[in-house]
Amino acid sequence: MSSPPPSPLSKPSKASAATQPIDGAIVEQVGDWQFWRFDQLESTSKTAKDLFGRNQLKLPAIIFARTQTAGYGRQGRDWQQGAGNLAISYVLDMDASPMEAGALAMLSSLAVLDGLTAIWHDAATAAKAPAPAPHLQLKWPNDVLIDGKKCAGILVEPVARAARSGHPSQSAVVIGIGINIASHPQDCSFAATDLATATGLTTVTPAIVAAYLTDALAMLWQQWHGAATQADQAALRQRWLSYGWGLGQPVTLLQGVSNIDGIFEAVADDGRLQLRLTDGRVQLFSSGEVSLRAPNQASPHQPTTHQTTNPTPTDNRHRNRDKA
């Protein structure tokens, strides 16, 4: 691929000595990242957008919350964090990047996959007792599966700020990621799991997963955020497809209250789903409108109405609707 412009991202290894409390957060400069650490938020992505809109973020930035009470996914679906799980949002400068939201969703999914793979590899190496690697797959548009069950969800939201008060206009992207680490919901229509259940890694914390995830995202962003040529975009797409769940199989797309049957052939460079319909036509579907399920598997997004439930110390349900 062509050489990308220099990336602003690096792995957060050592925090600056000084910390600064702002808006209830501890703010640190960790490598090139501005790291905002909250005890509790309604939503890391909502806070990220608010801070960006008020010109309070120095990009690239991370918004991390130990507890998230009103997370959300694509089309406003409810995403509750659950005990011991990760809620984190990244804000990246998009002024110099040609990538579209769909391609960024593919990149972010690969970052989660790479981060989880590295955690398992390091744990297995330290234990000197290699175990079978977890079977990781990427489910369009932006879910990560372990052994066919949902472990993580991603939501990519472009944001922009108009020029004012001497500050230039700026475009950015907020990448919200939720990962089930120690617990997972039992009442989702698409089966869920968590890292501890699927791999036996019971001592992994949200902070550990955040460090590995940030490292993986930084590496992929450095490699791909300047991917302007068709060859570059095709290479990113091909890597995503190598982990694609349901690829080449008959699938049903859920679009509103309608079901659309066809063969999952590919994804386009911009992240749209390429489906060969039963009449032979090929059609592209955007991530903002459709969902995917394999035949004989419960739909991940049934068109039903559900209520948001904020978790409490006595609420063990941890409602966890799709992040994406």
CATH of the domain at 270: 2.30.30.100
Between CA 84 and CA 205 the distance in angstroms is 7
Q: pLDDT (tens digit, 9 = 90+) per residue, 2-20? A: 333 333 333 444 445 446 6
Residues 62 and 105 in one domain: yes
Strand, helix or coil for residue 148: coil
Q: pLDDT (tens digit, 9 = 90+) per residue, 107-141? A: 999 999 999 999 999 988 887 766 678 899 999 98
What CATH number is associated with residue 45?
3.30.930.10
> Is the residue at 306 inside a domain?
no
Count CB atoms within 10 A of the CB of residue 15.
15
Residues 163 and 269 in one domain: no
Residues 194 and 280 in one domain: no
Flag the least confident range among 14-28, 84-98, 99-113, 252-266.
14-28
Q: Is the pLDDT of residue 48 over 70?
A: yes
Q: How far is CA 131 from CA 8, 125, 126, 149, 179, in A?
A: 36, 10, 12, 19, 22
> Is the residue at 284 inside a domain?
yes
pLDDT for res 155 = 92
pLDDT for res 163 = 81
**DSSP secondary structure string, 243-295?**
TBTTTTSEEEEEETTEEEEEEEEEE-TTS-EEEEETTS-EEEE-TTT-EEE-T
pLDDT for res 76 = 58
**Structure tokens belonging to residue 28:** 């640190």
> Is the residue at 324 inside a domain?
no
Q: How confident is the model at residue 234 (pLDDT cuts 50, 70, 90)?
A: confident
Q: How confident is the model at residue 100 (pLDDT cuts 50, 70, 90)?
A: confident
Residues 24 and 114 in one domain: yes
Residues 77 and 173 in one domain: yes
Strands of the sheet containing 282-285, edge to edge, are 282-285, 273-277, 258-267, 250-255, 291-293
Flag the least confident range among 81-95, 166-180, 246-260.
246-260
pLDDT for res 115 = 96
Using alpha carbons only, give the angle 206, 20, 82 rounded to the nearest 5 degrees: 25
pLDDT for res 166 = 74
Q: How confident is the model at residue 96 (pLDDT cuts 50, 70, 90)?
A: low
Residues 161 and 265 in one domain: no
Residue with tokens 């690969």, as numbered in its chain: 110
Q: Residues in the chain, how many?
A: 324
pLDDT for res 216 = 96
Between CA 143 and CA 240 the distance in angstroms is 12
> Is the residue at 13 inside a domain?
no
pLDDT for res 94 = 87
Q: Between 132 and 221, whose confidence is greater?
A: 221
β 33-41/61-68 pair status:
parallel
> Is the residue at 228 inside a domain?
yes
Q: Is the pLDDT of residue 288 over 60?
A: no
Contact 61, 91 (CB under 8 A): yes
Share of residues in the chain with pLDDT > 90 (%) = 46
pLDDT for res 190 = 80
Residues 51 and 163 in one domain: yes
Q: Is the pLDDT of residue 300 over 70?
A: no
> Is the residue at 135 inside a domain?
yes
Q: Is the pLDDT of residue 23 over 80?
A: no
> Is the residue at 255 inside a domain?
yes
Average pLDDT over residues 217-231: 80
Q: What's phi and psi for 119, nearest 5 deg? A: -60, -50
pLDDT for res 24 = 83
pLDDT for res 317 = 29
Kindly give, in sequence order, each residue whose CB lies less than 8 Å from that of residue 60, ignoring residues fewer than 6 positions away: 8, 9, 32, 33, 34, 90, 91, 92, 93
Region of 246 please: left (phi>0), alpha (psi -120 to 50) or beta.
left
Query: Could you tell me the sign of the dihedral formed by the alpha carbons of 37, 39, 45, 47, in that order?
Result: negative
Residues 97 and 233 in one domain: yes
Domain that holds residue 108: 20-240
Strand, helix or coil for residue 214: helix
Region of 273 please: left (phi>0), alpha (psi -120 to 50) or beta.
beta
Average pLDDT over residues 307-320: 30
Residues 140 and 222 in one domain: yes
**Structure tokens belonging to residue 45:** 């992505």
Between CA 264 and CA 266 the distance in angstroms is 6
Q: How confident is the model at residue 146 (pLDDT cuts 50, 70, 90)?
A: very high
> Is the residue at 83 inside a domain?
yes
Residues 26 and 142 in one domain: yes
Number of separate domains in the chain: 2
Share of residues in the chain with pLDDT > 70 (%) = 76
Residues 131 and 253 in one domain: no
**Structure tokens belonging to residue 91:** 């804000």
Flag the least confident range among 94-103, 173-182, 233-242, 284-293.
284-293
Which DSSP letter does residue 53 get? Answer: H
Contact 34, 60 (CB under 8 A): yes
Burial (CB < 10 A; 0-12, 13-18, 19+), residue 222, is middle
pLDDT for res 69 = 84
Between CA 263 and CA 253 the distance in angstroms is 10
pLDDT for res 298 = 43
Average pLDDT along the chain: 79
**Structure tokens belonging to residue 145:** 């599966």
Residues 166 and 252 in one domain: no
Strand, helix or coil for residue 147: coil
Q: Is the pLDDT of residue 39 over 80?
A: yes
